[in-house]
Chain A
Amino acid sequence: MYRLGIDTGGTHTDLVLLDEETGNIWVEKVPSTPRRIVDAALSGAARILDKAGAAPGDVHTIVYGTTVAVNMILQGERISAGLITTAGFGDVLEVGNSYRSGNIYDVQWEPSRPVIERRHCFEVRQRHDFRGHELEPLDEEQVRRIAAAVRELGLESVAICLLHSYTQPAHEVRVAQILAEEAPDIPLSLSSVVSPRISEYDRASTTALDAYVKPKLSAHFVDFAEQTETAGFGATLLTMQGSGGTFSLRQAAEKPIRVANSGPVAGAIAGSYFAAEVGCANVITYDMGGTSTDLAVAIGGDPIVVPRDELLGHPIQMSSIEITPIGSGGGSIVWIDEGGALRVGPDSAGASPGPVCYGAGGTRPTLTDAAVVTGRLNPDYFLGGRQRLDRQAAHDALALSRNDTDDWDPERWAAGAIAIAAADSVRAIRRVSIARGLDPRDFAIVGFGGAGGLIVSDAARELGIPTVVIPPNPGNVSAMGLLLADQSCDAVASRLCPLDEVEVGALNEWFDQLEADAAKELLSEGIAIDRITIARTAEMRYRGQSFELVVPFEKGYGGQALDHLAASFHRLHEQRYGHASPGDPVQLVSLRVSAVAATAKPAFPRLPDAATSRADEALKERRQVVFGERVDTPVYDRALLRPGHVIEGPAIIEEPGSTTVMWPDQKLSVSPIGTLVLTTR
């Protein structure tokens, strides 16, 4: 039987097919079809099955990565969603947290527009205090009038977010009942269900986004399910959540916000998986595509999960793998600012017109052009030779000087552009590591995505990171992540209180309840109970802090639970931030239970060992590559590299979807499944 991963991107749809018995892998790439996203998925699926000689009926699971699909769907016409809040707070989205998150000197800055129009925000009289005591009953008549207005305005979905509903949801539930009676068939999103956590703006924003994406995203999932069935697939359909686990497409249609931020998490999962295979448990994943680069940090083999995220510029309270995007990729424009400084990005030539060397109308030089001019990229072997690149055009475009007396040649500008792009990456990597108390030198870096191998070693050397890992098929790592991810469900409850006031018995009961809720979802998918593992965690902080740490909780703690929690929290704080204050009071913020059904990890075929350490049979050619200055550099064919081969830099490793650059001070070895490991001497 087979597992199929389909990752819809803005320009391409990537597919990976895994034969679970043999571990064989097939990859396929087809152009995306923005107008009907399912078309590319199905035509790609037909092609990849054909390659493998398999039929749709042989596929037992399809994991569908929809990140970009979410964006494409949202770029269409605006959805008319409504919001119901406690009286006096109808502007919760409009007012937000009153923080200018852009450059503070930029008085022309604009915040992201709320996804729900002010005219569609309704207020209802009711109030609970922070302990959940009712101060004012729900005005049900008013709710009925709102329901009439919702109907009259033709709103497509409604979000409900009342103050303190994370601790007392009764009024939200009642509002939903009334709406269901008065305005049936309008999808509702209750904040106490979507995100039962303190902080009204973040909770309202999360709930509003859920309501906003629901009508179209749900329809898309239903369409996907129908079309695959028509095409003869009887497979279980899964999709990725922001937290890094998969769940069923049916659940996704009900809780679309859990998918909407799934972003590039599949890449982070696969990147850390391949790194672990070569013995690197603590890694920074570096996924560079055409327009941007995504970073994630994994400790002990698992990407770091944080309790908050952002979507379309708005906060969301969904736990998610922490992804830090950088605005530079292979298509980033190389330019000179008005003060004469060399810059890379944030503008991108994107897929169209693309870099100058594509010859598709691009006139502004990009990082890809710089890679061609410096000899890093082979203009005759792009996409395995399917597309020829125009080196001369790239060279001419990189004659950046606007001054006749300027003596810098395009090659020097190109090398400079790569150094600056690497510096931008370095800055972002520092942000995700040092500011969290992590020293990047203790990490390995995993480079993938179409452009990852081109530049990752430059960033690693600058940071003093000694090991660089390049997984097999770097251009398809994200799709591979879809096949590696475990199926999971999280249940969360807000329990803000001082840790020393928590009653141990109650704590264990809360966890038991959450465990039952989380497991129920997996059981309803037909997963056997003995396949489900449970992880309990508590989000905690020192009283007064507002960033929580996620602390593991063991069922076996029993009566000692509070002491164990406190000790783990202090230790984690010390680890993460460099100091702890064991004498200070600790607060419990929320409890979370993750129920996980592990996916069997594929046994990737092992490559035969090399006869000698010399990789001469893989040597394709030699060419001049700029490393500070021009160096005569050997170029190897990755397909012919075997475990046991050792290559001393400088070198270029080519494969159809990607190119890896090795600096003169790096040395390469090959893992049993073909992962490249570059170490700095």
Chain B
Amino acid sequence: MNSADTRDVAEGHGLDVVTVEVIRSALESLAEQMTETMTRTSYSLLLKEGKDCSSSIFDAGGRLVAEGANVPVHLNALGPCLKGMLKHHFPPETLVPGDVILTNDPYVDGSVGAHHTADFIVYEPVFWGGELVGFSTIFAHLAGAGGLDPNDWHTSIFEEGLRIPPVKLYSGGVLDEDLLKLILTNTSVPYAQRGDLLAQVSGAHVGADGFRRLLDRYGRDVVLRAVDAQIQYAERRTAEYIRRIPDGVYRAEKLLLEDGSMGGPVRLRLAMKVTGDRITFDFTGSDEQIAGPINCPKSATISACLFGLLAMMPPDIPKNQGPANLVTIDAPEGSIVNPTPPAAVYQRMAVTHQIVDMIFEAMAEVLPDAVVANSCGLIYGRGSAVNTTTHPDGGDISARQEWRMGTGPSTGGLGARASRDGLSAMPGWITNVASPSIESSEWEAPVLYRSKALYTDSGGAGRWRGGLGLRLSWQVKGEAARFSHTSQYSAIPPKGLFGGHSGAPSRWVVNEGGESEQVLRYQTGPTMSLDRDDIVTLYTPGGGGYGDPLDRDPARVRVDVLDRKVSVEAARDRYGVVFTDAGEVDEPATAERRAALRAARSRA
């Protein structure tokens, strides 16, 4: 590539590179401001501390122009939903300035709507000079939808709360109070729901206003041509990377509910077909949708595929419609990756995490420096209870207060990389939600945390070690407690790459070490009841290792041992590193030990 390329792109649109760059910066800045506005003013913990929302600007044709991204899985899929909405619900001629469209329905135009009913999408059409020029949109996880028990094991979408098809929340600038009343009546947390929705709408306004100001400043034609040029630029850079992958078909396969629980296992099959600068993600051969909540709407499948692809490329490629133009996604209708109603979809994240890990696995041989070993995947755990003495204030309308296992998704080890250890205690790649503090969680709900700590030897051994998982435990301090959990990688742990070992599997234990100890049989399952003072302990998976652990620099193993990330035994048995009594690496003994382990391996 050389400078002539961008200039060709810019000048092909009658602009110079600087104007294109300045407008791109302005649009990306707008999307950032939208997200910032929403997170600063929202009410629910997941938004304000978890930042579980993302913003995008689209052009009138539904092409992604810029995004303000917090959570990867939110992105790239709003375009298909927007197009479906314009086709089936609100043709452009029915939109007027001041409209705000809202939906949380996964089943828009097939299954390219919201990812699940807790995700609210707001689209504000942007008019300039009487013409529809684009859309300002925010996708956010709100607290109040999802029916009676959103994290229970559902068999149909009708158990997952109020479905709102694309409807106008505002018409010509006027709020539909009746609609809002309907929504708030159907949630147990009307107070937070209302605050969050209003914050979301103000974020969308910020985007719409800013887009109009940009058009005022540069004129319609310059802005729209600059948008075309940016999209083409991102497409060319992505194409350049796809062309480096030899033509061919790259496959990976994974099992969901591999512990056999709840009707599992369910098979996911992916074939990545690369031809020139095009790539197709073909899920043919994946199992049919199931009567459970882990079906993945096509919108989320698209997000996962684009995230996995872009994560292997330079991070500065602009995130707009460009890359998506080179990608085709074949997700058979009625399958686990593109369900049809009335399939339940609440826990679709289980699939999206696996898709990302599958993409890395499939590409490992051809892009070894860009891929990552398997990561912790999905881990949700939520408790709730009532204690009107310690927590009389707030909660839902039955005074029930909810807490989560540390955050929305819990955190575990991420996979090791080509020249870096994996990150410890992080959410899986495709999500990125900050953990709220334990102290504020205890203020908000009747729960007492007992530990939140990395656990030794949970990271997959490798030349580069997988990130460590967490041991997280809490005690119920209220009555009528309920607990639901969703996780994966319990029977087949996160795999390593190129000789790297697997990370530790996930495990749930109630009253660990006590007389009533119970190791949960399901990695994902129905809501259960708990008694006051019961303790739930979760071990989250560690990331897979990368490369042969016998090739790891012994000095790194020593530091890991000093920091109790690796035990002396694991250092000896997995890494072949032996220490002197003074705690230094015993070089001759290590060489001997490593030779012995290699010999034993080749005998096997």
Write the residues of chain A forming the contact surface with B, with a CB cutoff of 8 angstroms.
87-92, 94-100, 103-108, 110-111, 117-119, 127, 129-131, 135, 163-164, 166, 198-202, 336-342, 400-403, 405-406, 408, 415-416, 419-420, 423-424, 426-427, 430-431, 434-435, 437, 462, 464, 496, 498, 542-547, 577-579, 581, 584
Residues of A within 8 A of B85 (CB): none
- How far apart are the CA atoms of A304 and B44 in the complex, in Å? 26
- How far apart are the CA atoms of A339 and B235 in the complex, in Å? 10
Residues of B within 8 A of A166 (CB): 439
B192 interface residue, CB < 8 Å from A?
A: yes
- How far apart are the CA atoms of A430 and B33 in the complex, in Å? 8
CB <8 Å contact, A402 and B2: yes
Task: For residue A30, give the distance in angstroms from its CB to the closest CB of chain B.
Answer: 38
- Residue from A95, A99, A420 in contact with B21 in the complex, judged by beta carbons closer than 8 Å: A420
- How far apart are the CA atoms of A118 and B456 in the complex, in Å? 12
Name the interface residues of B430-460: CB closer than 8 Å to any CB of A: 432-435, 437-440, 442-443, 448-454
B525 interface residue, CB < 8 Å from A?
A: no
The closest CB in chain B to the CB of A344 belongs to: B21
CB <8 Å contact, B45 and A405: no
CB <8 Å contact, A164 and B2: no
CB <8 Å contact, A339 and B1: yes
> Can you sample 28 A-B contacts with CB below 8 Å?
A88-B453, A94-B454, A95-B453, A100-B432, A104-B69, A105-B311, A107-B312, A107-B417, A107-B429, A108-B417, A117-B562, A118-B454, A119-B562, A129-B448, A198-B437, A201-B437, A338-B237, A339-B5, A400-B3, A403-B3, A420-B18, A420-B22, A427-B26, A430-B210, A431-B32, A464-B217, A544-B42, A577-B202
Task: For residue A429, give the distance in angstroms from its CB to the closest CB of chain B.
Answer: 9
CB <8 Å contact, A95 and B454: yes
Known contacts A88-B449, A108-B420, A426-B26; A435/B237 CB under 8 A: no
CB <8 Å contact, A340 and B206: no
- How far apart are the CA atoms of A44 and B195 in the complex, in Å? 56
Chain A interface mostly helix, strand, loop or mixed? Answer: loop
CB <8 Å contact, B5 and A340: yes
Residues of A within 8 A of B18 (CB): 342, 415-416, 419-420
Name the interface residues of B181-217: CB closer than 8 Å to any CB of A: 191-192, 195, 198, 202, 206, 210, 217
The closest CB in chain B to the CB of A434 belongs to: B33
Residues of A within 8 A of B319 (CB): 105
- How far apart are the CA atoms of A198 and B436 in the complex, in Å? 11
CB <8 Å contact, B36 and A95: no
CB <8 Å contact, B435 and A99: yes
Of B240, B439, B473, chain A has the most CB atoms within 10 Å of the CB of B439
- How far apart are the CA atoms of A164 and B439 in the complex, in Å? 7
- How far apart are the CA atoms of A423 and B312 in the complex, in Å? 28
CB <8 Å contact, A430 and B7: no
Residues of B within 8 A of A117 (CB): 562-563
- Residue from A110, A111, A336, A545 in contact with B41 in the complex, judged by beta carbons closer than 8 Å: A545
Known contacts A198-B437, A341-B233; A104/B70 CB under 8 A: yes
Residues of B within 8 A of A462 (CB): 22
- Residue from B48, B198, B411, B429 in contact with A547 in the complex, judged by beta carbons closer than 8 Å: B48
- How far apart are the CA atoms of A419 and B29 in the complex, in Å? 16
- How far apart are the CA atoms of A496 and B30 in the complex, in Å? 34
Of A100, A135, A464, A546, chain B has the most CB atoms within 10 Å of the CB of A546
Write the residues of chain B forming the contact surface with A, with a CB cutoff of 8 angstroms.
1-7, 9, 16-18, 21-22, 25-26, 28-30, 32-33, 36-37, 40-45, 48-49, 51, 69-72, 191-192, 195, 198, 202, 206, 210, 217, 233, 236-237, 240, 307, 310-317, 319, 372, 390, 393-394, 406-407, 411, 417, 420, 423-427, 429, 432-435, 437-440, 442-443, 448-454, 470, 473, 562-565
In the A-B complex, the 6 residue pairs with the smallest Cβ-Cβ separation, listed nearest first, are A88-B451, A340-B6, A544-B43, A99-B434, A106-B315, A435-B36
CB <8 Å contact, A198 and B439: yes
Residues of A within 8 A of B473 (CB): 88
Task: For residue A308, give the distance in angstroms from its CB to the closest CB of chain B.
Answer: 13
CB <8 Å contact, A339 and B236: yes
CB <8 Å contact, A118 and B48: no
- How far apart are the CA atoms of A581 and B199 in the complex, in Å? 11
- Residue from B3, B206, B411 in contact with A435 in the complex, judged by beta carbons closer than 8 Å: B206
Residues of A within 8 A of B206 (CB): 434-435
- How far apart are the CA atoms of A542 and B191 in the complex, in Å? 11
- How far apart are the CA atoms of A94 and B25 in the complex, in Å? 34
Known contacts A199-B440, A542-B195; A119/B202 CB under 8 A: no
Task: For residue B400, give the distance in angstroms from its CB to the closest CB of chain A.
Answer: 16
The closest CB in chain A to the CB of B360 belongs to: A107
CB <8 Å contact, B435 and A97: yes
CB <8 Å contact, B21 and A342: yes
- Residue from B427, B439, B563 in contact with A119 in the complex, judged by beta carbons closer than 8 Å: B563
Known contacts A135-B448, A427-B26; A97/B237 CB under 8 A: no
- How far apart are the CA atoms of A545 and B437 in the complex, in Å? 14
- How far apart are the CA atoms of A99 and B69 in the complex, in Å? 13
CB <8 Å contact, B210 and A544: no
Task: For residue B197, give the distance in angstroms from its CB to the closest CB of chain A.
Answer: 12
Residues of B within 8 A of A415 (CB): 18
Residues of B within 8 A of A430 (CB): 29-30, 33, 210
CB <8 Å contact, A546 and B45: yes
CB <8 Å contact, B565 and A118: yes
CB <8 Å contact, A340 and B1: yes
- How far apart are the CA atoms of A430 and B47 in the complex, in Å? 22
Of A118, A402, A498, chain B has the most CB atoms within 10 Å of the CB of A118
- How far apart are the CA atoms of A62 and B32 in the complex, in Å? 42
Known contacts A100-B426, A118-B564, A401-B3; A95/B22 CB under 8 A: no
Task: For residue A458, give the distance in angstroms from its CB to the closest CB of chain B.
Answer: 10
Known contacts A130-B439, A406-B3, A420-B22; A88/B452 CB under 8 A: yes
Residues of A within 8 A of B41 (CB): 545, 547, 577, 579
- How far apart are the CA atoms of A314 and B161 in the complex, in Å? 40
CB <8 Å contact, B434 and A97: yes
The closest CB in chain A to the CB of B423 belongs to: A111
The closest CB in chain B to the CB of A123 belongs to: B453
- How far apart are the CA atoms of A462 and B216 in the complex, in Å? 12
Task: For residue B42, give the distance in angstroms from its CB to the closest CB of chain A.
Answer: 7
Task: For residue A102, give the distance in angstroms from its CB to the closest CB of chain B.
Answer: 8
- How far apart are the CA atoms of A453 and B240 in the complex, in Å? 40
CB <8 Å contact, A584 and B3: no
Task: For residue B172, give the distance in angstroms from its CB to the closest CB of chain A.
Answer: 19
Residues of B within 8 A of A97 (CB): 49, 434-435, 437
Residues of B within 8 A of A119 (CB): 562-564
- How far apart are the CA atoms of A106 and B414 in the complex, in Å? 13
- How far apart are the CA atoms of A584 and B198 in the complex, in Å? 13
Task: For residue B376, give the distance in angstroms from its CB to the closest CB of chain A.
Answer: 11
- How far apart are the CA atoms of A406 and B6 in the complex, in Å? 12
Residues of B within 8 A of A100 (CB): 423, 426, 432
- How far apart are the CA atoms of A545 and B427 in the complex, in Å? 23
CB <8 Å contact, B437 and A200: yes
